[in-house]
Structure 1
Amino acid sequence: MKKNNFPICHVFFAFVLGIAIQLAPPKIWATETQDSYAFMSAQDLYDALSQQSQVALGYMLGIVDAKKGSQPDESCFAVPWRPDADEVLVNAYLNFWPSIADFSMKAPEALTQMMTKKFPCDS
């Protein structure tokens, strides 16, 4: 009677595959929608929005939505309530960024600053 070694082979194969995945370069795992825009600089956001990147648009809208309202420095901003709000926000950022162009600034900080100046709360 012959012994079946296939279960041991399957376990060994899964183990080797797991090791290979762990050792794979991180760039292989990264996709544009996940890691590439995770910590975007304000300049990178400007460049991506200038090229009409849908990923950058989603990133911008997510930050604006998450941070809307009162800020820790007692400033406040609101998101425009209109059908073309995404276009209005993109244009506002594209016009705002060249006026400050602080290359050390991260996108969330620049967006908060822009929103506070361009779309303050009504008080």
Structure 2
Amino acid sequence: MLASLFLLVALFQVLPSACLYRSIDYYTNSLQNSLFALPNGIGRFEKPLYNDRNPCEAVAVIGAWQLQWLEESNIQTLQRRNIEEVLRDAIVDALQSSFKPSEFGKCEVILQLFIERNVNRM
């Protein structure tokens, strides 16, 4: 009885975070295949602005800038809707992850994708 109760409690602790957050492959594949397929990239930023910041907060800020830039631009591609969806998902998940230090690794990978792509395009 005690073992099943322990298993149930452990399941309820792991299940919400497993369902709430998308896998890192969702972001890396979507960002690489959709977001960076646009000519000249989307927006630019400098890495030193984010050195002392929570990486998840940095991803949320950059994602919001990128989304605003995309909405104000005249880009009409078939991928635009997918790009907007990926950015919105990244912003929401980054904000939710900003309170969980265990999720900082995922945010650092996404932040590195933004940095590498923008540095390569400058």
Higher fraction of helix? 2
TM-score, normalised by the number of residues in structure 2: 0.30
Structure-1-length-normalised TM-score: 0.30
